[in-house]
């Protein structure tokens, strides 16, 4: 179970690095910063995200779940605020697009890893 959690953190850090390479307005200092950001995101997803989802449930239902990308962008912005200069996002629009791309990359990476583990 702990191994899966570390693997998930590692894959999320890879997704963050890929997004940093794709977008000029998404800055990470290196893999260490990406891994720390991945840990902070995991903690925020456990503590803060459920409250945000509950508070925004009506708009999430109306948008058929697409508002969850905005919630993911909010957690990304909180993460970059906590990390300081080692992780910077230049705008909320970038954070929304980055959250979509991170979700897609994580979907692909987790699918590849699950296939090789079986």
Q: Domain extents for the chain?
A: 2-117
Per-residue pLDDT tens over the stretch 5-60: 899 999 999 999 999 999 999 999 999 999 999 999 999 999 999 999 999 999 99
Nearest to 29 by CA among 79, 88, 115: 88
DSSP three-state, residue 24: coil
pLDDT reported for residue 115: 66
Average pLDDT, the chain: 93
Residue 118 has pLDDT above 80, yes or no: no
Per-residue pLDDT tens over the stretch 66-116: 999 999 999 999 999 999 999 999 999 999 999 999 999 999 998 888 766
For the entire predicted model, the pTM comes to 0.90
Query: φ, ψ for residue 87 (rounded to 5)?
Result: -145, 115
pLDDT reported for residue 102: 96
The gap from C-alpha 31 to its chain's centroid, in whole angstroms, comes to: 15
């Amino acid at each position: 179970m702990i191994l899966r959690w570390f693997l998930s953190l590692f894959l999320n850090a890879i997704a963050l690095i890929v997004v940093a390479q794709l977008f000029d307005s998404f800055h990470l200092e290196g893999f260490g910063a990406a891994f720390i950001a991945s840990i902070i995101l995991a903690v925020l997803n456990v503590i803060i995200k459920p409250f945000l989802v509950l508070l925004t449930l009506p708009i999430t239902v109306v948008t058929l779940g697409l508002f969850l990308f905005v919630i993911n962008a909010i957690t990304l912005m909180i993460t970059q605020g906590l990390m300081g200069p080692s992780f910077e996002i230049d705008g909320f629009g970038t954070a929304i697009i980055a959250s979509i791309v991170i979700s897609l990359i994580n979907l692909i990476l987790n699918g590849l890893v699950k296939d090789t583990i079986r």
